[in-house]
Structure 1
Amino acid sequence: MDNNETNNPESHLSLLKQGDKNAFKIIFDTYYKRLYAFSLHYVEDQYIAEEIVEDTLVKLWQKRNKLDKVENLKSYLYGMVRNASIDHLKKDKKFVRLDVKKHGAMPLKEQYIIEEETHAILFQALETLPKKCKKVFELSCLDGVKYKDIAEDLQISINTVKSQRARAIELLKSYLKDYPFYLIFLASL
């Protein structure tokens, strides 16, 4: 297998069908966070989204012998996660959020894939932050927790919370310099 194939999880589909655990691990590692962000958009609950994605990937492994008609693994996985997420919402009698104005006439499936890819870029950037910076940024900017509560929770001073938050934003700006959307987002924080 050449280097391009080893970096392309789609090429691991045939190996997965043969029961190759290493191919499954590569697929799992490549898609887990993206599928999680995709499911989270629907269910709006971290634990449920994790469960849906884990169940989906377990089903992929269990049904590996029956994947002959699957040509595009990524689309197949997104479809499985979307269906499982909608099924969960139906059981909980919740409705799927649709923001048609946001993306105009773009097909719904493409809207969610674009949003998921956007989330994946942010998750990747967050992983580059030092541990404390990342935690402060997530609590402050993503979860909306007040400085005082973060300081108490992490047992640090409010000034440390502020400096770690500012440091995280600067590091993210540097990492995301090629993504104007994120620069606008980070500037608004």
Structure 2
Amino acid sequence: MRPIDQEICSLLKVRKIGGMELLFREYYKPLVVWATTFLHDTQRAEDIVQDFFVKLWEKPYSALLPETLKSYLFTSIRNLALNQLDKIDPLRRACDVAYCDSPWNEYDNFEDEVFRSVEEELEKLTPRAQDVIRKIYLEGMKYKDVADKLGISVATVNSILVRALKKLRQQSDNNDKLAIYLFFLEKSLILEQ
């Protein structure tokens, strides 16, 4: 069980909006990717995930447990995506289910593998670069907050980040998984600014 899942469940049980914000930040992109594997349509996948989050907020699932949060989310999104396929084209769903009905564990294992690979590559960076990348991408801190915490300027944070990402990109030439992860990191960087 991840500490973030514990925090999400605790906040959602007392109906704190911070729980939804954490849930969104932690799971939105992976759930959209997961739904897209069934729908082959990113816009529909985003709609399904957003609708699911709204319904979860309006009528919370009372038995939400940190140990099962991830499986609940991925299973729910898979079922919603398959229901959407039924509405679009029942025959297509029959074909896609045979192709995509592998358990979400495959996604989970891939995510863990990618994360381990990224951690190995991060270890090759300077401690300062590691710290900046972890604070921005893994903890979701803003550049200004990182600068304040480390006692450096925002420009220095940006400079460290640019150099670190460049080095990671160079290291990723022989590592497709890291290249995929960096793609999503850079995409989230563009979206946040």
TM-score band by shorter chain is 0.5 to 0.7
Structure 1 stretch displaced more, 36-45 or 91-100: 91-100
Q: Corresponding residue for 2:68?
A: 72
Q: Corresponding residue for 1:92?
A: 88
Q: Is 1:58 aligned with 2:54? A: yes
Give the one of 14, 18, 24 matched to 1:22.
Answer: 18
Determine if contact 1:43/1:89 at 8 Å carries over to the other structure: yes
1:97 is displaced (CA, Å) by 5.4
Measured against aligned partners, the alpha-carbon deviations of 1:4-30 in whole angstroms (never above 9, x if no partner) come to: 84xx13322022111100121011111
Measured against aligned partners, the alpha-carbon deviations of 1:134-157 in whole angstroms (never above 9, x if no partner) come to: xxxxxxxxxxxxxxxxxxxxxxxx
Q: Residues 120 and 48 from structure 1, CA distance in 2 versus in 1: closer, same or farther, beyond 3 angstroms? A: farther
Report the TM-score, using the length of structure 2 for normalisation: 0.52
Determine if contact 1:34/1:117 at 8 Å carries over to the other structure: no
Determine if contact 2:9/2:64 at 8 Å carries over to the other structure: no
Alignment root-mean-square deviation, CA: 3.6
Identity %: 27
The code of the aligned residue for 2:72 comes to: Y
Higher relative contact order (CA 8 A, sep 6+): 1
The code of the aligned residue for 1:108 comes to: P
Determine if contact 1:34/1:120 at 8 Å carries over to the other structure: no
Measured against aligned partners, the alpha-carbon deviations of 1:54-101 in whole angstroms (never above 9, x if no partner) come to: 01111211222x42254421111111100000001111122225558x
Q: Is 1:174 aligned with 2:170? A: yes
Report the TM-score, using the length of structure 1 for normalisation: 0.53
* Cα distance in 1 for residues equivalent to 2:6 and 2:75: 15
After the TM superposition, which residues 131-170 of structure 1 pair with which residues of structure 2 at under 5 Å, given as runs? none
Normalized per residue, which structure has more helix?
A: 2
Give the one of 37, 43, 47 matched to 2:39.
Answer: 43
* Cα distance in 1 for residues equivalent to 2:99 and 2:55: 30
* Cα distance in 2 for residues equivalent to 1:119 and 1:86: 26
Structure 1 residue runs without a partner (length 5+)? 101-106, 122-127, 129-169
Q: Residues 12 and 38 from structure 1, CA distance in 2 versus in 1: closer, same or farther, beyond 3 angstroms? A: same
Determine if contact 1:16/1:24 at 8 Å carries over to the other structure: yes
Q: How many residue pairs are counted as aligned between the two chains?
A: 126
Determine if contact 1:53/1:81 at 8 Å carries over to the other structure: yes
Give the match's secondary structure for 1:68: coil
Q: Residues 73 and 184 from structure 1, CA distance in 2 versus in 1: closer, same or farther, beyond 3 angstroms? A: closer
Q: Residues 51 and 110 from structure 1, CA distance in 2 versus in 1: closer, same or farther, beyond 3 angstroms? A: same
Q: Residues 112 and 63 from structure 1, CA distance in 2 versus in 1: closer, same or farther, beyond 3 angstroms? A: same
